[in-house]
Amino acid sequence: MPRWTRLPLLTLLTLIGLLVLALQVGALPVLAAEWAREAPEFGFLAVPLAVAAVGAGICVQLALVVTGRLVGFVHRGRIFDRAALPWVNGLVLCGALATTIVLLTFIVLAVVGTGGPPALSILMIVTIIGGATTTLLLVVMRALLRQAVTLDAELREVV
């Protein structure tokens, strides 16, 4: 990893994390209250949906922290160390959990009979597909990292 990429990458990861935090604290309560006001028959869903959105946001924030930690492993040349594997497992877990939260929210909205605005349904479907794809790619990458860690350990024994 080129030395000059580490700081900009960590800065961007931090900015994304702060943006998610701003959405969680600033926008979500306002949107939940507005939705409850516009559709009072579904007002009982405002708080649970806001909690689900905050939960998915926390998963994203944790994934950003884990990614930053893995960038540190790469920067120090220790990505093929066994200590990196639990961090990759955490990344897979964050992706799976966030995708599951969005999927369950989508199902609840479909069962209750309100999908909200059509744009929200489309956004949720795209998020579910993107989250599932990313999580499965991370599972493949984790398997590749495990193989690389094993091969690196064997190579160190030979040398």
pLDDT in tens, 115-144: 667 888 899 999 999 999 999 999 999 999
- Which has the minimum average pLDDT: 2-11, 36-45, 94-103, 146-155? 36-45
Per-domain residue ranges of the chain: 3-158
Closest to 53 (Cα-Cα) out of 12, 126, 106: 106
Q: Which residue shows structure tokens 């080129």?
A: 2
Question: How far is Cα 102 from Cα 95, in angstroms, rounded to an integer?
Answer: 11
Total residues found in the chain within this entry? 159
pLDDT in tens, 36-89: 788 777 778 888 888 999 999 999 999 999 999 999 999 998 989 899 999 999
Q: Which H/E stretch holds residue 4? A: helix 3-22
113 conformational bin, left if phi > 0, alpha if psi -120 to 50, beta if neither: left
Q: Give the number of other CB atoms < 10 A from CB of residue 59.
A: 22
* C-alpha span between 159 and 157 (Å, rounded): 6
Classified as helix, coil or strand, 76 is coil
The one-character DSSP state at 2 is: -
pLDDT digits (tens, 9 = 90+) for 85-116: 999 999 999 999 999 999 999 998 888 876 66
Average pLDDT over residues 17-22: 95
> Using CA of residue 48, residue 50, residue 53, residue 57, what is the dihedral sign?
negative
Mean pLDDT of 136-158: 92
**pLDDT reported for residue 116:** 66
Other Cβ atoms closer than 10 A to 137: 12
pTM across the whole model: 0.85
What DSSP character marks residue 127? H
